[in-house]
Structure 1
Amino acid sequence: MLLISVPAMLLLTHTAMFPLISLNSFQAEGLYWLTSSGTAPFGVLTVLVLLGLCFRQIPKAHFLPLFITVSISMVSTLALNQFLKPYFSEPRPNAQLLHQQQLLNINEFYQLAPAQRKPVINDAVNQFTTDPHDVQLSPLIANHWRNEVGFAFPSGHTLFAVTLSMVMSYFLLLSGQYLLPSLLCLWSLGMGFSRMLLGMHWSQDVLASTVIGGLIGLACIWGINRCWPRLATLIATLTNTKPLTTP
């Protein structure tokens, strides 16, 4: 509910997060590195680091169900994100800005294949950075704009962060750990803010992605709790070991 409340408030109050901060600042570049924690290949590293931290903080008998739940939830979010983006075909805020500056025709742009969009937006961003504007881009943010050529809805980064945080926090809280779940919550909030402030997503994208990510996380947690007793017995039979306890 905490994760939902922030983008919901922004949406209900019609508060635009872009362009709110200078995109030619250390603050914007800090947000870029935050958002990169959910971007391939750094997203894989994020999962591995968090799994390593969980391995040290939860009972070893609970780590395997955690690993399985994380794996299923991550595959689910990736598949759903790939399906929903072309279905809704929503332009990104930065593409809308370039369109308003007559540097990009978003109707023609999004009809192109993703590989064909990159040279088009590259030219538009190059022109945007050389012309005088209220919105100035650092080279790092400009390069980020060049590489983000997909649709806006939903926010894959928010989906990734919320789902991962929900699943891992469940197992951590069961083990009496509170610090890492709190940090994961802040990371998820920061991820949504970074996507909006950098011009990648609208508030409704982040809100919907938070709801969907939460539902995916809850569904995967419910599924592992229902299936784990039989799955643990099967694993024990195959490995000739004692069955692991239920999370």
Structure 2
Amino acid sequence: MKNLLLAKRGGLALLVLLLVLIAVMTRFVGHIDLLAAVSDQQGAFFTTLTHSAGSQGFVVTLAVFCVGVMTLRLTPKQLISKAAQLGLLLVIGFVAKTGLKQMTESPRPYTETLSHELLVPNPEHFYHLSAEQQESVIHKVSEHVSHWRTQHWLGETDYSFPSGHTIFVAICVAFFGGLFVEHKRYLLTAGVMVWALGVAYSRLWLGMHRPIDLMASVMFVFIVYALLPDFDAVAGKINGYLNLKNRCSG
């Protein structure tokens, strides 16, 4: 177990750093007024950031980071092992996110705005509405809230805790950031960290999450990543089989 943790120390350290940065960011940012005017440049920027970790763009983000991994010159055995590790991390993260949201049933922050605007009696009531009624309520508040925010509200009417976007960025920080640190690619590591913090802030800015949602997501990934086994033995067998197959076919 000790050797396993030592092998992951770079990724685990980056997760701790991300957690601290999120805590500091939320401490100094303070309250975000969801009724405030939003410029198109600002709205497009935060939308792009949040989409990069959502269903709209996470595949592209993974592809970009994988290109970075290709510059590390890993052996075929290492690539197979790392691919299996990343795949399991993503499956656990996405499944756990869905399950935890249903267990906690924490209303999203934007539902508080709907309540303050007297469109629903309280945030919890929003989740008792039909999909058509939820859409109607959000359209009504659009008179006072920028469409850069309400378009996200319309697309995500599920619960708030934990943040699926932040689970994804934390996985990327642990896995890709850890690999980059291990191979002393510090510029790539910094790029992953800046992107991750930007996505985390975008979720607050859009009214989709509270700080506790973000920090709990990072802590969850920390625990899962720390306990995740390596796949070196399996990767060795697969690589040996592929080499044997190539020799036989040649």
- Give TM class, smaller chain: 0.7 to 0.9
Give 1:234's match in structure 2, choosing from 219, 234, 237.
237
Partner of 1:26: helix, strand, or coil?
helix
d(CA) in 2 for partners of 1:103 and 1:154? 25
In structure 2, distance between residues paired with 1:111 and 1:186: 38
User: Which ranges in structure 1 are unaligned for 5 or more consecutive residues?
Assistant: 242-247
Structure 2 counterpart of 1:126, from 112, 136, 139: 139
Gaps of 5+ in 2: 1-15, 245-250
Paired position in structure 2 for 1:245: none
Which of 104, 110, 121 aligns to 2:127? It is 110
TM-aligned CA distance change 1:111 to 1:5, over 3 Å = same
Tell me the equivalent position of 2:109: 93
Q: Secondary structure of 1:41's match?
A: coil
**Counterpart of 1:207?**
215
> Which amino acid in 1 is paired with 2:139?
N
Query: 1:96-175, aligned counterparts within 5 Å?
Result: 96-105=112-121, 106-111=123-128, 116-117=130-131, 119-130=132-143, 133=144, 136-137=145-146, 139-175=147-183
Q: Secondary structure at the match of 1:57?
A: coil
Partner of 1:53: 68
Judged with a 3 Å threshold, the aligned counterparts in structure 2 of structure 1 residues 121 and 23 are, in CA distance, closer, same or farther, namely: farther
1:2-53, Cα deviation, whole Å (9 max, x unpaired): 2111333466789334539643442132111100001113112211221122
Please provide the CA RMSD for this pair. 2.4
TM-score by length of 2: 0.81
How many residues are paired up? 228
Q: 1:146-172 CA distances to partner (integer Å, 9 max, x unpaired)?
A: 111010000100010011221112222
In percent, how many aligned pairs have the same letter? Answer: 22
Alpha-carbon distance change, 14 to 48 in structure 1, aligned in 2, over 3 angstroms: closer
Answer yes or no: is 1:3 the counterpart of 2:18. yes
**CA offsets per residue over residues 170-215 of structure 1, 9 Å max, x none?**
2222222111111111111111110001100001111111111233
Report which structure shows greater RCO (CA 8 Å, sep ≥6). Answer: 2
Q: Secondary structure at the match of 2:142?
A: helix
CA distance in 2, matches of 1:200, 1:210: 16
| Letter in structure 1 aligned against 2:238 | I
Tell me, yes or no, if structure 1 residue 33 matches structure 2 residue 48. yes
8 Å CA contact retained: 2:80, 2:235 = no
Does the C-alpha gap of structure 1 residues 26 and 11 become closer, same or farther in structure 2, counting only changes over 3 Å?
closer
- Over 3 Å counting, the alpha-carbon distance change for 1:190 and 1:82 in structure 2 is same
CA 1:122/1:15 → structure 2, altered by over 3 Å: closer, same or farther? same
- Structure 1 position 71 matched with structure 2 position 113: no
Residue 122 of structure 1 aligns with an amino acid whose one-letter code is E
**Aligned partner letter, 1:127:** K
**Contact 1:21 1:28 survives alignment (8 Å):** no
Give the partner amino acid of 1:6.
L
